[in-house]
């Protein structure tokens, strides 16, 4: 039987980065949605932003990216929970702590 082992500290770091990414993508999505909504009330751009297919493509890409990041956040959170519950071994415990040692020397010995 193979024992699964994951690094709790690495998963926690990755989770923090994923949460930052989700916030950034969601902010970009909200800003774009707001600008498109504003373009409904104005006719300055040619073609209007809300009718431009590029706007819809970017919105769709952001929606898919946000959904993927949210799935990754959920998977990382589950793995962290399993490590904390002892179901999955924490690989951080296997990493030896490196310590500095003072070595006598200087006289050729």
Mode of pairing for the β-strands spanning 5-6 and 89-90: parallel
Do the beta carbons of residue 44 and residue 14 sit within 8 Å?
no
Q: The pTM is what?
A: 0.74
* Per-residue confidence (pLDDT) for residue 28, from 0 to 100: 95
Could you read off the pLDDT of 10-22 as tens digits, one per residue? 999 999 999 999 9
* Per-residue confidence (pLDDT) for residue 1, from 0 to 100: 41
Token pair 């040692």 in the structure block, residue: 101
| CB within 8 Å of 42: residues ≥ 6 apart | 48
Within the chain, which residues score under 50 in pLDDT?
1-2
Percent of the chain predicted with pLDDT > 70:
79
User: What is the distance between the alpha carbons of residues 99 and 84, in angstroms, rounded to a whole number?
Assistant: 27
Residue 90's H or E segment, with its range, is strand 89-90
């Amino acid at each position: 039987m193979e024992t699964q082992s994951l690094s709790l500290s690495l998963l926690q770091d990755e989770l923090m980065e994923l949460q930052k990414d989700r916030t950034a993508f969601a902010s970009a999505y909200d800003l774009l949605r707001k600008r498109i909504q504003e373009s409904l009330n104005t006719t300055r751009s040619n073609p209007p932003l809300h009718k431009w297919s590029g706007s819809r493509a970017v919105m769709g890409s952001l929606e898919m990216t946000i959904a993927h990041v949210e799935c990754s956040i959920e998977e990382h959170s589950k793995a962290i929970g399993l490590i904390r519950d002892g179901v999955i071994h924490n690989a951080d415990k296997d990493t030896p702590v490196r310590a500095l040692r003072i070595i006598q020397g200087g006289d050729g010995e």
